[in-house]
Amino acid sequence: MKRKFLIAAVGAAIFGLVPAAPAMAQEAEALSPEAVQAILDNIWVFVAGILVFLMQAGFGLVEAGLTRAKNVANIMAKNIADMCIGALAFWAIGYGIAFGDGQWIGTDSFFLSGFGDGSFDGGYSGYTPFFFQVVFAAAAVTIASGAMAGRTKISGYLIFSAVMTAFIYPVVVHMFWQGDGILNRITVGDAAFSDFAGSSIVHSAGGWAALMGAYFLGPRIDKYSNDGTPRAIPGHNIAFTVIGVFVLWFGWFGFNAGSELAADSVVIRVGVTTMLAAAAGGFMAGAVMWMKVGFLDVAMTANGVLAGLVSITAGTGTMTPLGAVITGAIGGIIVVFSVLFFERIHIDDPVGAISVHGVCGVWGTLAIGFFAKWDDAFLGREDAGLFYGGGVSQLVMQLVGVVIVAAWVLPTTGLLFFILKKMNMLRVSPEEEIAGLDVSEHGSAGYGIETTFTGSLTSSRSLQDQSARDS
């Protein structure tokens, strides 16, 4: 309590809650330590949600950079649609299913009913957790976008986005973060499931959806040669990709540290483990690719950073800095071989979303069973990890959670994509795919290539005419 109150007092001064004017000072003195802490908790979670909201731009840049220029407008359209549709679907239905009362799914709080004016007295405003969770929902559905890039009808994708954020993902959230779901009620020995910020609840859920989307779509037209050998299709803008990774890395501090749901010292420790795991993931992915191909592959290094971030997301509140480095480093190694594996079995994932979010999300969830040192408020005990004397029970419990999430998301998203495919709403025609989705799905090239070319030609002719007149 002393630790929280000290942070609250400093934060209150920063945010102007303890102003210098005597009258305002008297008003501030009337606030109890608990009230000040509640104000800061709400403000911090809101600010963290803003950081997660910014991650949508990072996803768009990474996906656009790793794919072809003729699809850039389509990719940006999907990312903005995920936020627009996702926010409305989660407000109307998803939040109630995720956090409403009910054994298997929530059955109240639809359309934020009962939230009133959002005031709070010593606790959270009802709007605070909604704001934080709605940006998580948008992130979960956007994960699948990259795996489906370059060949998906926008109409089918929008239906997927709505169903994912309104129903499929909220059921996953209800399993654990609601507090009384199936993953809260299952234990293995003295081990309780933990996923602090969503390696499984958000990332592997999005990764499994990405796997089903890529499977039912099939590979891009020129991804494989006649004998089945995979061809490299380089992205068109590595600068987009790297900038996007830094935007995501920045937003991830809100993603992970905001999941503490309080302005306390754990926030700083979570920020440190997040930073170190990302750095270790990028380092190891770059090193592995350098050994394999003889040079530093920028795109894979960038994906290694994201792999490290996904890997630490579940255990960021439980691990020491050393545990975070090991977890992130293993994630960086895993992502390289996972990307190559899916490419060999003809699952065409243009940005590596299945590997980064799905496979590394699984690894990050399991990593708690090895490296958990501190109680993150879910574990209920210290030294739960195998390497700290906790035995294998925590590892088994984490595996149970991974399987339950996969057992829900894989068949539900698979059924959805199967129906969309049967209705001819999933994949564009070969002609449209070759021409690029910017033109066929959105009416014009994302970069305005024709306008640029016409303008250059006009300028060239004007210069020739001027030269002729001067002669």
**Could you tell me if residue 54 is inside a domain?**
yes
How far is residue 59's CA from residue 147's CA, in Å, rounded to a whole number? Answer: 12
Give the chain's radius of gyration (CA, Å). Answer: 24
Residues 97 and 237 in one domain: yes
DSSP state at residue 1: -
Q: In this structure, what token pair is assigned to residue 170?
A: 């909220």
Residues 24 and 38 in one domain: no
Residues 16 and 70 in one domain: no
Burial class for 201, CB neighbours closer than 10 Å (0-12, 13-18, 19+): buried
* Of 232, 228, 313, residue with least CA distance to 67: 232
**Could you tell me if residue 468 is inside a domain?**
no
Could you give the number of structural domains in the chain?
2
Residues 61 and 24 in one domain: no
Contact between 169 and 85 under an 8 Å Cβ cutoff? The reply is: no
| DSSP helix/strand/coil, 427 | strand
pLDDT in tens, the chain (471 residues): 444 444 444 454 444 444 444 444 455 567 888 888 999 999 999 999 999 999 999 999 999 999 999 999 999 999 999 999 999 999 999 999 999 999 899 999 999 998 888 877 668 888 999 999 999 999 999 999 999 999 999 999 999 999 999 999 999 999 999 999 999 999 999 999 999 999 999 999 999 999 999 999 999 999 999 999 999 999 999 999 999 999 999 999 999 999 999 999 999 999 999 999 999 999 999 999 999 999 999 999 999 999 999 999 999 999 999 999 999 999 999 999 999 999 999 999 999 999 999 999 999 999 999 999 999 999 999 999 999 999 999 999 999 999 999 999 999 999 999 999 999 999 999 999 999 999 999 999 999 755 444 444 444 444 444 444 454
- Whole-prediction pTM: 0.90
Residues 7 and 100 in one domain: no
Residues 42 and 26 in one domain: no
* Of 145, 260, 139, residue with least CA distance to 201: 139
Q: How many CB atoms lie within 10 A of CB 180?
A: 12
Q: In this structure, what token pair is assigned to residue 459?
A: 């300028």
Residue length of the chain: 471
Q: How many CB atoms lie within 10 A of CB 174?
A: 25
How far are the Cα atoms of 76, 170, 184, 209, 257 from residue 195, in angstroms, in the given order?
30, 15, 11, 19, 13
Residue entry with tokens 């894979």: 300
Q: How many CB atoms lie within 10 A of CB 30?
A: 8
| DSSP helix/strand/coil, 152 | strand
User: Which stretches within 125-223 are classed as H helix?
Assistant: 127-147, 154-163, 169-176, 182-185, 205-217
CATH of the domain at 39: 1.10.3430.10
User: Which stretches within 177-258 are classed as H helix?
Assistant: 182-185, 205-217, 238-257
Residue entry with tokens 């799914």: 105
How far is residue 373's CA from residue 329's CA, in Å, rounded to a whole number? Answer: 18
* Of 329, 348, 350, 352, residue with least CA distance to 339: 352
Q: Which domain holds residue 20?
A: 1-31
448: left (phi over 0), alpha (psi -120 to 50) or beta: left
**Could you tell me if residue 150 is inside a domain?**
yes
Residues 99 and 5 in one domain: no
Contact between 178 and 106 under an 8 Å Cβ cutoff? The reply is: yes
* Vertex 150 angle, CA 287 and 169, to 5°: 80
**Could you tell me if residue 470 is inside a domain?**
no
Residues 289 and 316 in one domain: yes
Contact between 206 and 137 under an 8 Å Cβ cutoff? The reply is: no
pLDDT at 35: 87
Residues 65 and 194 in one domain: yes
Exposure string of 353-392, with b = 16+ CB inside 10 Å and e = fewer, is bbbbbbbbbbbbbbbbbbbbbbebebbeeeebbbebebbe
pLDDT at 440: 92
User: Which stretches within 321-392 are classed as H helix?
Assistant: 321-344, 353, 360-371
**Could you tell me if residue 317 is inside a domain?**
yes
Crossing angle of helices 205-217 and 360-371, rounded to 10°:
150
**Could you tell me if residue 459 is inside a domain?**
no
Residues 22 and 48 in one domain: no
Residues 89 and 99 in one domain: yes
**Could you tell me if residue 450 is inside a domain?**
no
**Could you tell me if residue 458 is inside a domain?**
no
Q: For residues 55, 97, 414 and 352, what is the CA-based torsion angle, rounded to 10 degrees?
A: 20
Q: DSSP labels for 283-320?
A: HHHHHHHHHHHSS--HHHHHHHHHHHHHHHHTTTTT--
Contact between 150 and 220 under an 8 Å Cβ cutoff? The reply is: yes
- H/E element, 187: strand 187-188
How far is residue 10's CA from residue 25's CA, in Å, rounded to a whole number? Answer: 15
Residues 57 and 25 in one domain: no
Contact between 286 and 303 under an 8 Å Cβ cutoff? The reply is: no
Contacts of 462 (CB under 8 A, 6+ apart): none
